[in-house]
Structure 1
Amino acid sequence: MKEISLTELLEAGCHFGHKVTRWHPKASVFIYQPREGVHIIDLVKTKQGLQKAAEFVYELGKSGKILLLVGSKRQAKGVVSEAAKRVGLPFMTNRWIGGFITNWEEVKKNIDKMNNWRKDRDSKVWDQYPKHEVVKLGKLLRQVESVYSGVESLTRVPDAVFIVDINKEVAALREATRRKVDVVAIVDTNANPTLVDYPVPANDDAVGSIQFLVNYLVEAYDEGRKLSQKAEAKKAGVKEPEKELNAEEKKAVVEEVKPKEDIKAKPEKKELKKEPPAKIKKAKKPVKKAAVKKGAK
């Protein structure tokens, strides 16, 4: 995971709390000091809380568990939905659905109904129905989508919930606590950090602060999930796809393969055919004349 620096937290505006008149007494453990009527959050405590939350979220992704992102306040809606879509996580940016966790069986029926209607619409099944029926179904689908859009991929209760503002999402926090679902949350100076399993003390109103924290935790989850997928692929014997080279790397490879012009090719040595040695004719030995015996006639 990427190392967190106090400078990044400062630039994101994570240190600004609420007015001193709106503080929660149990938030004093991470308040640095009041300044001009506003509490300043200790960024060292923010860094510690964020690291602990990121480690937990990383293990969630590594073990293939589900993390639900919840942020219905105006400043958080766009940030949460964009981050969730980028890595394929379920999210809820409209109002919290009552009984979403505690009455999951009934909620699941509505999600299945929405998915079936979408499937029938896209596969042109609705074309067989009368026009007034199609209009009625379209209206019902839009109503259901306004509530359940973002959680259509869920098939079971999430293993953990990430909440941007626990004062805003009281119902979500209550249901998660009742079903013993782990809660990660941004906790400002006006909230009780003891209600959360993994509190991150920070500004939950500034877009910059929310964006930095949400993206960091989502990337930690995605990093853990990719590591798990890589290990499974290796175990199954699936080869990893070759890394695509960028323009500079491709140019370097071409230059390496390209022959150098200043080096002249050496002429090949022609092998001389060796002629067989000439045969030496042996000199004939002189024939000795037979000796004539004395006394012969």
Structure 2
Amino acid sequence: MANKVEVKELLEAGVHFGHMTRKWNPNMAPYIYMERNGIHIINLYKTAAKIEEANEALKKISASGRKVLFVATKKQAKDIVAEKAAAVNMPYITERWPGGMLTNFVTIRKAIKKMTAIDKMKKDGTFMTLSKKERLQVDRLRAKLEKNLGSIADMTRLPAALFIVDIKAEHIAVKEAQKLNIPIFAMVDTNSDPREVDFVIPANDDASKSIDKVLSLVTGAIAEGLADRKSEKDDLPAAPAKETAETQE
């Protein structure tokens, strides 16, 4: 069982602050506790329960050896998501979402292979046989590819799930995942539609403290799943030696 989520910690991180009441999405009503000074307050008991539910599922995914792709391109979430996802060896997109990232994954993989090919050129010396102008162009292309796709370079197949911070900002990612039936885990604020998401975490998706808190909890569950996978592998008995002709007789 993933660790119990403390409501007090969520409160201290400001996870309960929603948007102004006039910007709300009525479908978030079940997760709203009250209105204060024109702002909706999220029910943190429901948030805690939803995080625990999401964590159980994320733990199972990581224990099975599959990947969760983290998506957050907004300024206050980018660095947090990059740090937390990298810590548990999960792919992430924190720059612009490349259109067709999921629905046209083959093309994205080709772009990643291009990056690998450039690295190989640099290692085997081919790069230095190019003219100065060509080297400059190749370097620029490599830098661009690294910026947009470097964080998913090891993602050789479609992810088992997406974790999104702010589904309104990342609506293209949401649509692509839905099209391919890839489960979506997300921090959903009071101005968003929770029906878009499979695992809803009602939470303030604008404040860095709130994002950091929720991401720490979910990546903690992923780390547990990875640890379980490792211990299971370590516990596997060694393959038996092949029987000799004598022992068979």
Per the TM superposition, whether the score is higher than 0.5 is yes
**1:67-121 deviations in whole A, cap 9, x for unaligned?**
0000000110010001112121100001111001111111111111112212332
| Equivalent position amino acid for 2:83 in 1 | E
- Is there any run of 5+ residues in structure 1 with no aligned partner, and where? 239-297
| Equivalent position amino acid for 1:79 in 2 | I
- Greater shift in the superposed pair: 84-93 or 37-46: 84-93
Distance across 2 between alignment mates of 1:47 and 1:125:
55
DSSP-derived class of the 1:213 partner: helix
Map 1:261-276 onto structure 2 (within 5 A): none
DSSP-derived class of the 1:97 partner: coil
**1:158-193 deviations in whole A, cap 9, x for unaligned?**
110000000000000000000000000000000111
Map 1:26-175 onto structure 2 (within 5 A): 26-175=27-176
Deviation at 1:234, TM superposition (A): 1.5
Deviation at 1:230, TM superposition (A): 1.3
- Greater shift in the superposed pair: 22-31 or 133-142: 133-142
DSSP-derived class of the 1:168 partner: coil
The verdict on how the C-alpha distance between 1:159 and 1:7 changes in structure 2, with shifts beyond 3 A counting, is: same
Distance across 1 between alignment mates of 2:123 and 2:166:
37
Deviation at 1:229, TM superposition (A): 1.6
Percent identity between matched residues is 36
Deviation at 1:21, TM superposition (A): 0.5
| Equivalent position amino acid for 1:157 in 2 | L
Distance across 2 between alignment mates of 1:47 and 1:173:
23
Distance across 1 between alignment mates of 2:122 and 2:173:
32
| Equivalent position amino acid for 1:148 in 2 | L
**1:251-282 deviations in whole A, cap 9, x for unaligned?**
xxxxxxxxxxxxxxxxxxxxxxxxxxxxxxxx
| Equivalent position amino acid for 1:166 in 2 | I
DSSP-derived class of the 1:149 partner: helix
Which contiguous aligned blocks of 4+ residues in structure 1 show a shift greater than 4 angstroms? none
Distance across 2 between alignment mates of 1:137 and 1:216:
40
Deviation at 1:195, TM superposition (A): 1.0
Aligned to 1:24: 25
- Greater shift in the superposed pair: 142-151 or 6-15: 142-151
Aligned to 1:207: 208
Q: Which has the higher helix share?
A: 2
The verdict on how the C-alpha distance between 1:134 and 1:226 changes in structure 2, with shifts beyond 3 A counting, is: same
**1:113-149 deviations in whole A, cap 9, x for unaligned?**
1122123324543123332221121111122222212
Distance across 2 between alignment mates of 1:32 and 1:145:
43
RCO higher in structure (CA 8 A, sep ≥6): 2
| Equivalent position amino acid for 2:229 in 1 | S
Deviation at 1:236, TM superposition (A): 4.4
- Is there any run of 5+ residues in structure 2 with no aligned partner, and where? 240-249
Aligned to 2:247: none
| Equivalent position amino acid for 2:160 in 1 | D
Distance across 2 between alignment mates of 1:36 and 1:224:
41
DSSP-derived class of the 2:176 partner: helix
Larger Rg: 1
DSSP-derived class of the 1:173 partner: helix
Distance across 2 between alignment mates of 1:46 and 1:178:
27
**1:173-230 deviations in whole A, cap 9, x for unaligned?**
0000000000000000001111100000010001111001111111111210121121
Please say if 1:218 is aligned against 2:222. Answer: no
Q: CA RMSD in A?
A: 1.4
Distance across 1 between alignment mates of 2:34 and 2:53:
23
**1:24-71 deviations in whole A, cap 9, x for unaligned?**
000001000100100000001101110110001000011111100000
Aligned to 2:187: 186
Distance across 1 between alignment mates of 2:99 and 2:137:
25
